[in-house]
Structure 1
């Protein structure tokens, strides 16, 4: 008989853990005894214990986190899948990753899979890459390597030792799971995990914490601070996932006492942490277990390559990002290599162009992307959100006065909203593809209309 998750204590009983819970999820408090008891319940689920890799797609973060730590203790690989993913899609993802079991919805949803392609020589966390540079791929990082990252993260980033970690990002992603929850528990802290991403609710929870450190994304942080009381500042915030435009960075920095950001990738985990930030693209110094090579102030246009200490030796990770080290050894991100636009042999970095255009008083949001050009090689394109509206020709004229000639967008398209992925990143390739498909569709319709006119 399959064990059920133990019943929740009544609210008045939960309150006894409010002073010192192991962790809190929204308004529910869990003690160490709660956590260990739930972990122990998995011992009798044979399909879990007989698997080499288990995919987990459940609504309840307490179930996921206890499963994660249980699988880690048994040296079984875990693949977290965001609970919003439909069952058929989750099943395909799990099979592609080589998982033998998918737990979907809750502990009653055990789906056995027939797969054989997983590397069974090591166990760890399996994640899908973001897919911003191509087809998403499965990446396994061993539990031992994750332990090295956690130790290095805590060593390099000790300021939060006296803060309350508030994780308002998915704990199915390595940023929220490893850098948020696992690091906090390793420090002996009690993390507050927020899955109810209502800004007013989040503000209330942050205001109830002592010295809160919010783990979030730039987009969420920007929206949150619009509602934050004007006469106070948020104590601390960490961002990751996408580089902020300089204008947004300055707005956020003015409202947060301690602003941090971290840089990493799926293959390496966290590579660097930025403290005492000087600019939006300042990613700080590499963690102790990581060395990097990249550009310098004289030659910025080089790929960031990370050399990561792992349990089995040094792992070389080519990030496909362009960046450089400043004189004081701080990493500065410039662009994804795939996003760099080459116009007549000159490099255009989308973020640099976006930062300038966002200085226009009517422009609220932008994305720069590229399409092929038979004469210049590639063409700079722009989608923008403006209020009040501004004519593309007028905005292009403004750009020509504030940008180098090769940086000026040749195609400008006003839109109601910039398309972003769930992690707040923009997929420039997809935006370019959608733009070109829309042009092709309009061209075909126009051609069909002219043919119909001639027929009449």
Structure 2
């Protein structure tokens, strides 16, 4: 049925787990109840999601390393009946009357990259519709095995990497070992692979990639891939794919063969796309309409001549420098193309006189100075887009999905 790291779980193994869940007191009547899952084992996450979905229960996914008090607070905020933490046997039924459940659903908290996280509900029927449309759109070859590096406590890894794969009758390989060399060994031992990851993971893999290892297919999501990474991976992989979505909508589009780092492909059949711009210089907000109604994504993009969606920035991330717009991604691409720059993020800073300015945090793997950065930027960007404030750091904070929250960095600066 699926493999976790190198441990295989067959269909009969999964059935044993499903039967065991039904024997536990807190799972005997799951219909109409919401369970917050904060589980150590990805095998438990997958099988318990399948169990609760089949029996009319709802699920709130929480990252495995969520502290107990935070997990309890999240479960209460969502109106959960119980928090299942660590293992399926460890359950805390929450006091009080849980919120009345609508149609059985999958719940999650948004990543909070533009502010506070909010609770998102997507019915299991909407999830089924997404999986069906996803499987129609993804170019899966016979004998191809998905290798899921993305977390199964988030929709990308769980729905696209695992549940959609199972729906196709294919057994995915889930990799939770944090050692990049281990992930590379699994990929190497799975020649016809489709690897699900995020740009930061692929960046790490290229640093450990073994000579002669060539990737079959790489699927990226979560954030637009930096152009230097796209160019590097293009020389290492037969096919680069990218999918785009948001917490409220799930997967919106897939690019089966990326034409650029910003290429998000074509929308899945169950979404009607709204994107007015056809010019990179004048992007507009992307919105989609489906059974959940109209969803404004908060992302800026345009339609390329190929018909593909190209994304440039979050609306909230655009920096207004004296009335001129700066998209952080275009500056980051210049920084990441510099020798000696391992990671970089560009975000909004505030100056008491000048107002909004361009700020950058950089992780350097070599000797790089602020003057070097400005010199290179001035060669490739207008002066107003050149970072006015450059900070060299040992690490850039990321959320559990590997995303960088520019809003979080702004808030950190504001409290200093």
TM-score (norm 2): 0.94
Question: What is the alpha-carbon distance in structure 2 between the residues aligned to residue 26 and residue 116 of structure 1?
Answer: 40
Question: What is the alpha-carbon distance in structure 2 between the residues aligned to residue 359 and residue 218 of structure 1?
Answer: 15
Select between 237-246 and 30-39 the one with higher mean Cα deviation.
Answer: 30-39
Deviation, structure 1 residue 230: 2.0
CA deviation string 1:102-121 (max 9, x = no partner): 11111331101135564512
Q: Tell me the equivalent position of 1:307.
A: 289
Matching of residues 42-441 of structure 1 within 5 Å: 42-51=21-30, 52-114=33-95, 116=97, 118-298=99-279, 300-308=282-290, 310=291, 314-373=292-351, 376-438=354-416
Question: What is the alpha-carbon distance in structure 2 between the residues aligned to residue 65 and residue 102 of structure 1?
Answer: 16
Find the residue that maps to 2:258 and give its secondary structure: coil
CA deviation string 1:292-321 (max 9, x = no partner): 11242236321110113x3xxx52111111
Mind listing any 5+ residue stretches in structure 1 that lack a counterpart? 1-21, 439-456
> How has the CA–CA distance of structure 1 residues 363 and 23 changed in structure 2, closer, same or farther, with 3 Å as cutoff?
closer
CA deviation string 1:361-419 (max 9, x = no partner): 33332111112345554111112233433332343243223211221221122222223
Aligned length: 413
Find the residue that maps to 1:366 and give its secondary structure: strand
Select between 52-61 and 198-207 the one with higher mean Cα deviation.
Answer: 198-207
Counterpart contact for 1:160–1:213, Cα < 8 Å: no
Deviation, structure 1 residue 243: 1.4
> How has the CA–CA distance of structure 1 residues 338 and 197 changed in structure 2, closer, same or farther, with 3 Å as cutoff?
same
Question: What is the alpha-carbon distance in structure 2 between the residues aligned to residue 184 and residue 307 of structure 1?
Answer: 25
Select between 370-379 and 324-333 the one with higher mean Cα deviation.
Answer: 370-379
Find the residue that maps to 2:264 and give its secondary structure: coil
Deviation, structure 1 residue 83: 1.4
Deviation, structure 1 residue 151: 0.3
Question: What is the alpha-carbon distance in structure 2 between the residues aligned to residue 114 and residue 121 of structure 1?
Answer: 20
Question: Rg bigger for which structure?
Answer: 1
Counterpart contact for 2:107–2:120, Cα < 8 Å: yes
Question: What is the alpha-carbon distance in structure 2 between the residues aligned to residue 211 and residue 62 of structure 1?
Answer: 23
Deviation, structure 1 residue 135: 0.7
Question: What is the alpha-carbon distance in structure 2 between the residues aligned to residue 267 and residue 375 of structure 1?
Answer: 38
Question: What is the alpha-carbon distance in structure 2 between the residues aligned to residue 264 and residue 161 of structure 1?
Answer: 26
Deviation, structure 1 residue 77: 0.4
CA deviation string 1:97-139 (max 9, x = no partner): 1111111111331101135564512111111100001110111
